[in-house]
Amino acid sequence: MRRVVTVAVLVLTLGVGLAYFWGHQPAWFERIRYPLHYEQIVRGHAKNYDLDPALLAAVIYQESKFQADAKSSSGAIGLMQLTPQTAEGIAIRTGGSRFRLSDLYNPEINVRYGSWYLRHLLDKYGDEKDALAAYNAGQQNVDEWRAEGKDIQFPETRAYVKRVEHLKHVYARAYDL
């Protein structure tokens, strides 16, 4: 009986310890779990477009896990998962004279375009939650929801916004962003 109690106490102690650790992860552990590749690009474009670098890193992690060659089933490409149509529009609006699909696999160009787009959405909506919802679900959907006085209507978009906001705090703590 004494052995059972000892094992139970050890299991309980280990469980509480792990729960505390997962709830209060040290920065070094978060850096392992949530890498920040292309840090200079992220910091540079965050500064250039007046974005919180932790928010930019969070969007990139959520969109592509920092995989520059990521491609979605809907055709979105690169670190920030931009569609070719959106990227071409950004290229034209930002003074580009030529857009190539291969540009979206270039981390510097992809993050530049994505940063411009995120800044555009933040300026348009004046609200981080709605800007993130538009990044995920499209501006037309968010415009309709707002016109109808409704909150985010897609469960997957609500989950996306919540996840990016969580990741923003993780990146801010782990990398001092």
**121-128 average pLDDT score:** 98
Ordered by start, the domain boundaries in the chain are 1-33, 37-175
Q: Residue 84: how many CB atoms within 10 A of its CB?
A: 15
Task: Confirm if 67 and 39 have CB atoms less than 8 A apart.
Answer: no
**pLDDT of amino acid 15:** 45
Q: Residues 6 or more apart from 135 whose CB is under 8 A from it?
A: 59, 117, 118, 121
30 catalytic? Reply is: no
Q: What is the CATH number of domain 37-175?
A: 1.10.530.10
pLDDT > 90 in the chain, percent: 82
* Active-site position among 63, 128, 148, 156: 63
CA triple 11-170-111, angle to 5 deg: 140
**pLDDT of amino acid 87:** 95
pTM: 0.86
Least confident of 1-10, 27-36, 44-53, 90-99: 1-10
67 has a pLDDT exceeding 90: yes
